[in-house]
Amino acid sequence: MDVFLTAMPALSDAFAMILQPHVIGYLILGVVMGLCIGVFPGLGGIAGLSLLLPFMFGMEPVTGLALMIGMVAVVPTSDTFASVLMGIPGSSASQATVLDGFPMAKKGQAARALSAAFAASLFGGLVGAAFLTVFILVARPIVLLFQTPELLMITIFGLSMVGILAGRVALKGIVAACLGIMVGTIGEGASSGALRMATYDLPYLVDGLKLVIVGLGIFAIPEIIALLRQDKAISDKANLGGGWLLGVRDWWANKWLSMRCSLIGVVVGVIPGLGGSVVDWIAYGHTVQTAKDKSQFGSGDVRGVIGPESSNNAKEGGGLVPTLLFGIPGSGSMAIFISAVALLGSGQIEVGPSMLKNNLDFTYAIVWLLALANVAGTLICIAASGGISKLTNIRFALLAPFLFMIISFAAFQSRQEIWDLVALFGIGLLGILMRRFDWSRPAFLIGFVLSAPAERYTNQAYQIAASRFRRGFDEGIEYVFSPIVIVLIVITLISVVLGLRQAKNIQAEGAVNAGSKRAPMIFLLALTGYIALAYWNSAVIPDFARMDRVFPIFVATVGLLGCAIMIVQMIMKPETHDIFADREAQEADLNTYGLWPTLAWFAALLVASAIVGFILALAVFLLLFIRLRAGKSWTYAGLYTVVGIGFICSLAWALNRDFPPGILQSYFDLPWPLT
């Protein structure tokens, strides 16, 4: 009862704070700004938020908060556009949405997928806020129960989702995940700073690859290239009329699924240290496991959209708990959020343990502003989805250069070096080949995302447990096998067993026929070669840095075992076996253009950028691509180029970003945007 006695007055204070016309006005302004940025894949809210900061100074706290929260809240909503319409994961929050959302768009059901996603988002956001209102009062001791072994188990549970997404040949999925983990270990080890598959001569690799680049490379580039080769529009059917109403009805039919996934989102979001990177995969896994008819997942089942989207907005609410209660940001945008609150409160409001005691009304205002921003953002998005989904009817050759421009720009924000583009291209090539030979790209991505936390928590749990065992056996066991850990182990085991049993029926990326033996074999051998090289590279890490050696060695061993079994299988099995899946053979009739000529366009853009800088290279690329590949007139191509360059420059100018320079720029000082 105590809880409610403190909560009720604070809650009514909070609503009195929020429900003022000018506060709502600023909230909607923030929402609109957030939508404008969030629509472009890869940019996310951080860029926009850090841009707002200078204007925060001297603003009334609630108005400033409204503006900022409006912006943060709608990014996981608006990035759904890119995921569903283009197959590009707009941010880490919408990776799983791609799996079923994009096939739906291809079938002409873009509006339906979008509105189902938005309805689920809205619902998830509201469930999250309602849950938090009560939970935030009792959250502190519960969150503190999640020690390192518990965090490690959640990470492993996340990895177990690979089981569901592995595809028809489970072993392939496992090796893909191992490869993802190995790519995630590239760079300086977190524990002793030993280098793995990197050298100080190439500083780019020392910091490792960023999720933006890997996400865009592994999902977006293969889809763009594949669509370009077929030279048609994304959707092969005309849009179905009234699609968006159908989507809302879909959501209503699955409201309990949506509810469960929202709760998954809040709970995982609440735990500090994991952020939201796994939540949508766990929600997707849950959706698949609890569905009766699994045959449509991966080729456009609306439930595959509703599940992850319900969880990712709820997660934003959950992420407020570590941020507000412990002062530990769950994500980059939350970190900026903390410093903005300090700026706004000018000393009176400090994010951290004292927040609940001294500013409970303010805390509630934040929670419900977030919910309100979700409502406003979703309504705008649903209203816009019918129109925006018409993009899927445009001939793709006209859309692709524009997408490439945006993706390159987003990738370049990672480290602001030309190497960002090289990495994007390299990972993109890997993605293309994985798609062709039906290696699970979701499994790869889950491995990559969870690589760092898995290694970190393994090492830390090992170290702390060793210290506990030195103090006494009982104390050690108590630490390692807490009730939460045991429950998580049971859940993980059930999920793995079920997942592997069902995996054969779930083709997360659609069905693929087998082709010839040679090409899949060469690809497998190449992957084996990389993992073996990474194994050797880790094995030579000297003893004093052994903490950085153990994890990659272990993962590479698992990967190599998988590879070895598969090589034997490939030799034994006939050509028609699933293991030889090859999309190239299957899509031969559909493809108008070859892979390499299509890819050469983008390789040329990359090389030209390295020589004359991004903007000059881009201008030439746009002009020639539209003229030669899309076959439009020079006037059309010229106009397209002017609009494209103008657009990207104003975006960069608004966000205060530069473009990748080339060799030319190191000899001549050129004015912005050519710098």
Give the nearer residue to another protein in terms of CB position, either 335 or 388.
335
Distance of CA 630 to the CA centre of its chain: 31
Is position 561 an interface residue for another protein (rule: CB under 8 A)? no
In the bound complex, what is the minimum distance in angstroms from residue 149's beta carbon to another protein? 9
Is position 137 an interface residue for another protein (rule: CB under 8 A)? no
| Residues whose CB falls within 8 Å of the CB of residue 10, separated by 6 or more in sequence, listed in order | 360, 361, 363, 364
Q: How far apart are CA 251 and CA 302, in angstroms?
A: 8
Q: How far apart are CA 81 and CA 98, in angstroms?
A: 10
Binding letters toward another protein, positions 398-437, x by CB under 8 A:
-----------------xx---------------------
Give the nearer residue to another protein in terms of CB position, either 147 or 289.
147
Interacting residues with another protein between 144 and 203 (CB under 8 A): 144, 146-148, 190-193, 200, 203
3-state SS of 416-438 is: CCHHHHHHHHHHHHHHHHHHHCC
Asked if the bond preceding 542 is cis, omega within 30° of 0, the reply is: no
Q: How far apart are CA 546 and CA 536, in angstroms?
A: 14
In the bound complex, what is the minimum distance in angstroms from residue 545's beta carbon to another protein? 6
Closest of 605, 661, 188 to residue 400, by C-alpha: 605
Locus of tokens 């763009």: 224
Q: How far apart are CA 459 and CA 462, in angstroms?
A: 5
Candidates 387, 589, 596, 656; binder of another protein (CB under 8 A) is 656
Candidates 17, 46, 69, 218; binder of another protein (CB under 8 A) is 46
Helix 441-471 / helix 148-160 crossing angle, nearest 10 deg: 160
Q: Is 518 exposed, middle or buried (0-12, 13-18, 19+ CB in 10 A)?
A: exposed
* Total chain residues near another protein (CB under 8 A): 55
Is position 592 an interface residue for another protein (rule: CB under 8 A)? no
Candidates 37, 85, 267, 351; binder of another protein (CB under 8 A) is 351
Is position 357 an interface residue for another protein (rule: CB under 8 A)? yes
Element (H, E) at 642: helix 634-655
Locus of tokens 């320079």: 661
Both tokens assigned to 243: 């699609």
Q: How far apart are CA 221 and CA 228, in angstroms?
A: 10
Is position 272 an interface residue for another protein (rule: CB under 8 A)? yes
In the bound complex, what is the minimum distance in angstroms from residue 456's beta carbon to another protein? 5
**Amino acid at residue number 645:** I
Q: For the chain, give percent helix, strand, coil, nearest 5.
A: 75, 0, 25
Q: How far apart are the first and last CA of the chain?
A: 63
In the bound complex, what is the minimum distance in angstroms from residue 631's beta carbon to another protein? 41
Candidates 12-20, 331-339, 443-451, 506-514 — which segment interacts with another protein by CB under 8 A? 331-339
Candidates 195, 206, 500, 585; binder of another protein (CB under 8 A) is 206
Candidates 88, 110, 213, 336; binder of another protein (CB under 8 A) is 336
In the bound complex, what is the minimum distance in angstroms from residue 434's beta carbon to another protein? 28
Give the nearer residue to another protein in terms of CB position, either 2 or 669.
669
Is position 54 an interface residue for another protein (rule: CB under 8 A)? yes
In the bound complex, what is the minimum distance in angstroms from residue 206's beta carbon to another protein? 6
Asked if 191 contacts 548 with a C-beta cutoff of 8 angstroms, the reply is: yes
| Residues whose CB falls within 8 Å of the CB of residue 472, separated by 6 or more in sequence, listed in order | none
DSSP 181: H
Cα dihedral across residues 235, 237, 241, 243: positive or negative: negative
Candidates 29, 352, 550, 649; binder of another protein (CB under 8 A) is 352
Is position 328 an interface residue for another protein (rule: CB under 8 A)? yes
Candidates 155-163, 291-299, 311-319, 544-552 — which segment interacts with another protein by CB under 8 A? 544-552
Candidates 248, 327, 429, 624; binder of another protein (CB under 8 A) is 327
In the bound complex, what is the minimum distance in angstroms from residue 318's beta carbon to another protein? 16
Is position 342 an interface residue for another protein (rule: CB under 8 A)? yes
DSSP 92: G
Candidates 6, 20, 463, 633; binder of another protein (CB under 8 A) is 463
Candidates 109-117, 120-128, 340-348, 491-499 — which segment interacts with another protein by CB under 8 A? 340-348
Interacting residues with another protein between 210 and 269 (CB under 8 A): none
How does DSSP assign 526-543, residue by residue? HHHHHHHHHHHHHHTS-G
**Which spans of this chain sit near another protein (rule: CB under 8 A)?**
46, 50, 53-55, 57-58, 144, 146-148, 190-193, 200, 203, 206-207, 272-273, 326-329, 332, 335-336, 339, 342-343, 346-347, 350-354, 357, 415-416, 455-456, 459-460, 463-464, 467, 470-471, 543-545, 547, 656
